[in-house]
Amino acid sequence: MLKLGVPSKGRLMEKTFDWFGARGVTLRKSGSEREYAGAVDGIDGIELVLLSAGEIPRELAAGNIHLGVTGSDLVREKLANWDARVATLAPMGFGGADLIIAVPQAWVDVSTLDDLDAAAAAFRRTHGFRMRIATKYHRLVREFLRDQGVADYQLIDSQGATEGTVKNETAEAIADITSTGETLRANGLKILDDGLIHASQATLFRGRRNDWTNEQRVELTALLRVLDI
Amino acid sequence: MPTSPETLTEARRLRDLFAAKGGRVIKADVLQPAGTLLDLYGEDIRARSYLTADPLRGEMVLRPDFTVPVVQMHMESRADPARYTYSGKVFRKQEEDETRANEYVQVGYEVFDGQNPAAADAEVFAAIADGLSGLPVRAATGDIGVLMAAVRGLNTTDARKAALLRHIWRPARFRALLKRFGSGAVAPSRVALLAADDPFASVTSDIGLRSRAEVEARIAALRADAVAPPIAKDEIGLIDAILNLRETATNVLSALRDIAVDMPAIGDAVTRMDARLAALDARGVDVAALEFEGSYGRTSLEYYDGFVFGFYAVDRPELPPVATGGRYDALTAQLGQGRAVPAVGGVIRPDLALEIRTC
């Protein structure tokens, strides 16, 4: 039996059900609307597990589920060395969002990471502390800024309403997910020209643990054939 | 393996060896306040160390090395000169390679002595080499001080020199800056900004701690940079020549003397290197066979600012260095609140020393 983890609510769940349905595999919630139990029709050997999208990377890496649908951003953020621990089976073409770096529109002198780095140096000299970037994507942002050679910043944890942190003066810049940029503009922020950290979308992953049984490997092959991937 | 009884025995042997050379045995807390390290190294330290929250003391870190606590201890004691040795576990997150230890012992020897820096450099290098004697290791050396002197000697604005010095330890950004300062080519967004009659015409909101005056100050700096002539090709060629040096120390010294003819600013750094090689020679190090790399030490944590070295297992290129060290004068200035003490030190990993001894 292969356990397939799918987001337990909202548009991400509906779109995932639609994606599998269009390929001949019916996923549905069983029982009442509030119950997190699921059923799979159209193929044998697959068990549906409904859980939070944010927990799917961890459960995949731990081997508690074998397949999982979640954002490619969440896998990269939550798993160190992610591509050694899970494998991408199929990008699913929905749930698209960009992880970007944004700064106040009033920073007319800052359009690129090069500018951000220079502004951070001056900011630290003036204010006595490192420029604060609010985010919940610590690993992705830190690795990106390290690779780009940006210095003199610090990450501030922000689990929600991140766009408001600059106005509240708890951060100078942000790194967050955006799909249209509307919320950013409404909060007086702009995206850096080269500030795209990761273009995320919903993706079907498999765990890379090597303790799968032969039966489970056969089931995966059968599923991939039905899904045509 | 990293903390086995055999490793602890070897650690004790090394610490006794360093104590016999004059090092006072010191200890440091395993749990250190994180603020100093975070301010020094920024976010990189979060990726590399175990941080935890103490309800009363704030953010704490399992010590990632001994350098910072040893410097702090020295700055408080105000002893000068001073020699220290220590042995203890350090903790490093390994996010990329699970096979690397995240908890291992380091035995160190640190010298705070401004009388004769060249002699102190040689003393530390020789002490570490003595600790590893008989092992199949090769030494690599470098000198961040030569590169810093070369940057300071460039015929360009102080702002550009400061920008380059800030990124000595980030080779990719350093290269990008050098290229930009050499060509004068800037992003289209900057061209548009500097051409605008009123750069703030489209600004409708003014939020955040970074003030309008700070933005204006940077625009003024960009205007000044735009009219500054590009750094000459010849000078960039000299920086490249220094970075590309990869030869025996004696050959590098003669190459640097040639470069110093065109770039007199590195003269003092070259003289220091000459004195260091003489001091190493006096301690029995074969400098004619010692490897020197112009860019060695640029990707480590950014506190080494002079002589740098590492010892590597000859037949085990996959192992981390068995020992590393270098000069960190600037770190003592930063931690000493204005009071700087020339300092140089090195650490050995006894677990790795044992591993290559037995194979």
Please check whether residues B251 and B142 belong to one and the same domain: yes
Contact: A149, B176; criterion CB under 8 Å:
yes
Q: For position A9, what pLDDT does the model report?
A: 85
Beta strand pairing call for A37-41 and A26-30 = antiparallel
Compute CA A68 distance to the chain's CA centroid, rounded to the nearest angstrom.
Answer: 13
Please check whether residues B70 and B108 belong to one and the same domain: yes
Please check whether residues B147 and B211 belong to one and the same domain: no
Please check whether residues B85 and B217 belong to one and the same domain: no
Q: For position B126, what pLDDT does the model report?
A: 98
Q: B interface mutation test: which of A108, A112, A124, A167 has the most B CBs within 10 A?
A: A108
Residue B127 lies in a domain: no
Residue B336 lies in a domain: no
Structural contact between residues A51 and A67, judged by C-beta atoms closer than 8 angstroms: no
Using one digit for the tens of pLDDT, what is the confidence trace for B86-113? 999 999 998 878 888 999 999 999 999 9
Please check whether residues B155 and B189 belong to one and the same domain: no
For chain B, give the mean pLDDT.
Answer: 93
pLDDT band at B302 (very low <50, low <70, confident <90, very high): low
Contact: A152, B206; criterion CB under 8 Å:
no
Structural contact between residues B353 and B92, judged by C-beta atoms closer than 8 angstroms: no
Domain boundary among B204, B229, B254: B229
B207: contact with A, CB 8 A cutoff: yes
Contact: B38, A127; criterion CB under 8 Å:
no
Using one digit for the tens of pLDDT, what is the confidence trace for B108-127? 999 999 999 999 999 999 99
Is residue B260 over pLDDT 80? yes
In angstroms, how far apart are the furthest CA atoms of chain A?
64
Q: What average pLDDT does range B1-30 have in this prediction?
A: 94
Q: What average pLDDT does range B176-204 have in this prediction?
A: 93
A188: contact with B, CB 8 A cutoff: yes
pLDDT band at B39 (very low <50, low <70, confident <90, very high): confident
What CATH number is given to the structural domain containing B15?
Answer: 3.30.930.10
Q: What's the whole-model pTM score?
A: 0.91
Q: Which of A121, A131, A142 sits opposite B166 (nearest CB)?
A: A121
A164: contact with B, CB 8 A cutoff: no
Q: Which of A127, A153, A154 sits opposite B209 (nearest CB)?
A: A127
Which domains, and CATH codes, for chain A?
Answer: 2-96+201-227 (3.40.190.10), 97-200 (3.40.190.10)
**% of chain B residues with pLDDT over 90:** 79
Residue B346 lies in a domain: yes
Contact: B42, A151; criterion CB under 8 Å:
yes
Please check whether residues B172 and B153 belong to one and the same domain: yes
In angstroms, how far apart are the furthest CA atoms of chain B?
72
Please check whether residues B260 and B112 belong to one and the same domain: no
pLDDT band at B301 (very low <50, low <70, confident <90, very high): low
Q: For position B358, what pLDDT does the model report?
A: 67
A104: contact with B, CB 8 A cutoff: yes
Please check whether residues B75 and B144 belong to one and the same domain: no
Using one digit for the tens of pLDDT, what is the confidence trace for A88-123? 999 999 999 999 999 999 999 999 999 999 999 999
Please check whether residues B280 and B158 belong to one and the same domain: yes
B205: contact with A, CB 8 A cutoff: yes
Residue B126 lies in a domain: no
pLDDT band at B277 (very low <50, low <70, confident <90, very high): very high
Please check whether residues B150 and B216 belong to one and the same domain: no
* CA-based nearest residue in chain A for residue B302: A151
Residue B50 lies in a domain: yes
Residue B300 lies in a domain: yes
Q: Which of A139, A147, A153 sits opposite B42 (nearest CB)?
A: A153
Instruction: Provide long-range contacts, Cβ within 8 A and 24+ apart, for A56-63.
Output: A56/A5, A56/A7, A56/A205, A57/A82, A57/A86, A57/A205, A59/A5, A60/A5, A60/A85, A60/A86, A60/A205, A60/A206, A60/A207, A61/A85, A61/A86, A61/A207, A63/A207, A63/A209, A63/A211
Determine the structural domain holding residue B15 and report its residue range. 1-116+342-351
Sheet of B323-327: strand order equals B24-25, B82-91, B103-112, B343-348, B323-327, B307-313, B137-143, B291-293, B246-248
Chain B window 317-356: which residues touch A at a Cβ cutoff of 8 Å? none
Is residue B199 over pLDDT 90? yes
In this prediction the ipTM stands at: 0.89
Using one digit for the tens of pLDDT, what is the confidence trace for B307-348? 999 999 999 999 999 999 999 998 888 888 778 889 999 999
Residues in chain B, overall count: 359
Q: B interface mutation test: which of A109, A129, A139 has the most B CBs within 10 A?
A: A109
Number of domains in chain B: 3
Q: What is the 3-class SS of chain B, one letter each residue?
A: CCCCHHHHHHHHHHHHHHHHCCCEECCCCCEEEHHHHHHHHCCHHHHHCCEEEECCCEEEEECCCCHHHHHHHHHHHCCCCEEEEEEEEEECCCCCCCCCCCEEEEEEEEEECCCCHHHHHHHHHHHHHHHCCCCCEEEEEEEHHHHHHHHHCCCCCHHHHHHHHHCCCCHHHHHHHHHHHHHCCCCHHHHHHHHCCCCCCCCCCCCCCCCHHHHHHHHHHHHHHHHCCCCCHHHHHHHHHHHCCEEEHHHHHHHHHHHHHHCHHHHHHHHHHHHHHHHHHHCCCCCCCCEEECCCCCCCCCCCCCEEEEEEECCCCCCCCCEEEEECHHHHHHHCCCCCCCEEEEEECHHHHHHHHHC
| d(C-alpha B336, C-alpha B75), whole Å | 6
Tokens of B49: 């160390």
Give me the tens of pLDDT residue by residue for chain A, a chain 229 residues long.
999 999 998 899 999 999 999 999 999 988 766 667 788 998 999 999 999 999 999 999 999 999 999 999 999 999 999 999 999 999 999 999 999 999 999 999 999 999 999 999 999 999 999 999 999 999 999 999 999 999 999 999 999 999 999 999 999 999 999 988 899 999 999 999 999 999 999 999 999 988 899 999 999 999 999 999 8
Please check whether residues B178 and B259 belong to one and the same domain: yes
- Give the count of Cβ contacts less than 8 A between chain A and B: 117
Contact: B187, A193; criterion CB under 8 Å:
yes
Please give the helix or strand (H or E) that residue A100 lies within, else none.
strand A97-104
Q: How many angstroms separate the Cα of B268 from the Cα of each of A153, B153, B271?
A: 34, 11, 5
Please check whether residues B262 and B315 belong to one and the same domain: yes
Is residue B264 over pLDDT 60? yes
Q: For position B194, what pLDDT does the model report?
A: 95
The DSSP letter of residue A167 is T
Is residue B359 over pLDDT 60? no
Closest CA to B109 of B3, B249, B11: B11
Structural contact between residues B31 and B60, judged by C-beta atoms closer than 8 angstroms: yes
Q: Which of A108, A153, A169 sits opposite B200 (nearest CB)?
A: A108
Q: Please, which residues bridge with residue A47 across strands?
A: A3
Residue B76 lies in a domain: yes
